[in-house]
Structure 1
């Protein structure tokens, strides 16, 4: 038996990859991370503070619910969380009003969800139990949440996953990392390097080969990395683009039963918070919902930064697939103009900085995050098996209620490292 420490190659320097790398390196394993981008973080994408006046997040932004792994890491990094406080508003096409979260049919909805034994898609559940006209508002609210919040397709999304999310109180608390998720990634990357992890950027992995007990990880540029085991932490769509050994390829096929959604995110920094100046009653607005092209907006409350963030999630983002970043910004301005009864030119004059990302256009993401179908739990079980030299990790494999979040990625990375260390 060799005295050399086991060498593990991790593909992807996102939250899952960095978390797994640190845990393995701490335990004495030799770890190399291969990252296609020229930065760590993956779908965590910090934007320059000089551009937006604070460390803005172009990708993941919120800490949802209890998030024990995230919160522990925040404390360890001497960072802090800021809870989101304020009011939610909606625009019905004619006027702005405080969002009324009470639905007269909520008790019926909970009863139907509780009675559900076998998983079915959300759209089918609504057709089966709430088809009448009196339920139209509730159906729209649920569909909007599934598409927007979960970036999911109601025709495929799991009702039992939705029940788990809702009946446990959902993400009752939401917050942000002060300094942005980028500060957490910087801490993790520094920790990895301190423990001897080699992080190599610009390495687009094209193939993983197994022969005679040896593993070779090939990069598109021609580099080859020999190792004992590989952890793949790439977003689900990229699994199809990496040639894998037969056993790993058969496991990876299960990913087709896990949903993967897209998000368009737009950040607009203004000279002043004109929405508060114009309508004083919006002074503590956090979220703003509408049926406009960019349907969701939020402020940085309780921080005072004059920034509005636009959000469009789910399958309907395909409608804007031809738009470049400036055209997305224009679409955002048009949506705000309609909601606030202003001209786009008036709003645009006040813009100091802007950024827009259609995550489907990012070649190393191909979308935003995963969501559950009725077949997802079984698929996750297949992908999580440690029965070969290639392991899978990431937010899509997390089997808790917070699938698709940074917490899910961190927890999955930790779990995958534990499987190797216990083995």
Structure 2
């Protein structure tokens, strides 16, 4: 391989890697993007439209909060975002309601959070301030949010980080990209290709070495790539699996101080939207359904009329399902829907048109879904982002310091910041 000045090698063609590649190639740098899979996107994974009648997302689906980098990209590409709308339902002891049983105690939670002057884990917060039986519903709601939304372990999750998330004021709500994240992904890939970025797929990186102020990247199939700088954008659980320069050992060790949670996502397409014809309630505008079923969270594509229900199981509870294959996960999802809607599985199963279950912990190039903040995360981020002009930088959603760590916005912002750091140097 011809070695040229200002050659940047990026490991991982997910959101962070693509964003960095775009920025660097725009500045005239030579960029090689190594990707272990046969596709771009990483934990953004659009599915074929033929399966679900739209380009469904097996991975990231929503835009969270203000997301300035994401919305700037959408503006550049002419894509649009549709704010999510609809009704949120809760099922408690078989009774469906618009009201979360914990709502009446949220004021007390916010009072306690506002007065905290020392960080602690979510478990410690609940044990210290909400241990009484009268707070049972609040504890269940908080734990459900921490595990389900943040994919976090309450025994490790930082209350200060979640306080910012819960009490951050107007953050712009949530939205979906019209056409899914795949549409945005297509644009990034196309622009990178147009600017000469070289994509090398099925490149499983095993080692990065420093040699004469340059970098050598070694792959499992024996291929090597030489460059001036390497941007490493792999998910955190993969860092310890790589042979990295000795100077980076402290960074690898620090990565253990950032939480990384798992998600099991189920997409079930039916012949029709049967949930809109339930006798007890008008669910025609249902967006979310939350319950204590085995798969506790479900959502629709409202206001679009796709006959698809998406199931979501996240955080530590996913470990209980680790032994299940895809078919068994789909059956678990059907059983959960039968429990929630009091509709027999024997009626639901024949009405199923397409189904897919994705356990992100079983993806060898992800080993989970996304990161979350622990008590030690901010210090760990300081260590992981250290760069004194050496051959390797680390980038990705886990290094984002904003309120929406773990999101696509976090990955895009981190990739952009890393690229600009190289250009400034």
Normalising by structure 1, we get a TM-score of 0.97
Match of residue 141 from structure 1: 141
Q: Is the CA contact (8 Å cut-off) linking 1:5 and 1:28 kept in structure 2?
A: no
Distance 2:20 2:249 in 1: 22
Gaps of 5+ in 1: none
Aligned counterparts, 1:13-412, within 5 A: 13-100=13-100, 103-169=103-169, 173-279=173-279, 281-387=282-388, 388-412=390-414
Q: Is the CA contact (8 Å cut-off) linking 2:250 and 2:383 kept in structure 1?
A: no
How far 1:101 moved relative to its partner? 7.5
How far 1:102 moved relative to its partner? 6.6
Give the secondary structure class of the aligned counterpart of 2:200. strand
Q: Which stretch of structure 1 is more off in the superposition, 105-114 or 193-202? A: 105-114
Q: Is the CA contact (8 Å cut-off) linking 2:31 and 2:197 kept in structure 1?
A: yes
How far 1:212 moved relative to its partner? 2.6
How far 1:91 moved relative to its partner? 1.2
Q: Is the CA contact (8 Å cut-off) linking 1:289 and 1:297 kept in structure 2?
A: yes
Match of residue 418 from structure 1: 420
How far 1:172 moved relative to its partner? 5.2
Distance 1:112 1:208 in 2: 47
Give the secondary structure class of the aligned counterpart of 1:104. helix
Could you list the per-position Cα deviations for residues 179-219 of structure 1 after superposition, in whole angstroms to 9, with x for gaps in the alignment?
11011111101111111110110000000011232310000
Distance 2:101 2:420 in 1: 41
How far 1:171 moved relative to its partner? 5.3
Could you list the per-position Cα deviations for residues 308-356 of structure 1 after superposition, in whole angstroms to 9, with x for gaps in the alignment?
0000000110000011111100000000001111110101111110000
Q: Is the CA contact (8 Å cut-off) linking 1:386 and 1:419 kept in structure 2?
A: no
Gaps of 5+ in 2: none
Distance 1:270 1:107 in 2: 40
Give the secondary structure class of the aligned counterpart of 2:104. coil
Structure-2 change in CA distance of 1:171 and 1:328 (3 Å): farther
Distance 1:105 1:269 in 2: 37
Q: Which stretch of structure 1 is more off in the superposition, 92-101 or 203-212? A: 92-101
Give the secondary structure class of the aligned counterpart of 2:107. helix
Distance 1:91 1:110 in 2: 24
Distance 1:70 1:341 in 2: 40
Give the secondary structure class of the aligned counterpart of 1:105. helix
Distance 2:163 2:417 in 1: 25
Q: Is the CA contact (8 Å cut-off) linking 1:151 and 1:261 kept in structure 2?
A: yes
How far 1:97 moved relative to its partner? 1.4
Give the secondary structure class of the aligned counterpart of 1:281. coil
How far 1:169 moved relative to its partner? 3.0
Give the secondary structure class of the aligned counterpart of 1:134. helix
Q: Is the CA contact (8 Å cut-off) linking 1:93 and 1:339 kept in structure 2?
A: no
Give the secondary structure class of the aligned counterpart of 2:25. helix
Q: Which stretch of structure 1 is more off in the superposition, 304-313 or 131-140? A: 131-140
How far 1:90 moved relative to its partner? 1.2
Distance 2:172 2:24 in 1: 33
Could you list the per-position Cα deviations for residues 252-279 of structure 1 after superposition, in whole angstroms to 9, with x for gaps in the alignment?
2111000000000000011100000224
Give the secondary structure class of the aligned counterpart of 1:99. coil
Distance 1:285 1:37 in 2: 36
Give the secondary structure class of the aligned counterpart of 1:264. strand
Distance 2:158 2:112 in 1: 14
Distance 1:304 1:103 in 2: 30
Q: Which stretch of structure 1 is more off in the superposition, 32-41 or 115-124? A: 115-124
State the number of aligned residues.
421
Q: Is the CA contact (8 Å cut-off) linking 1:165 and 1:171 kept in structure 2?
A: no
Q: Which stretch of structure 1 is more off in the superposition, 170-179 or 197-206? A: 170-179
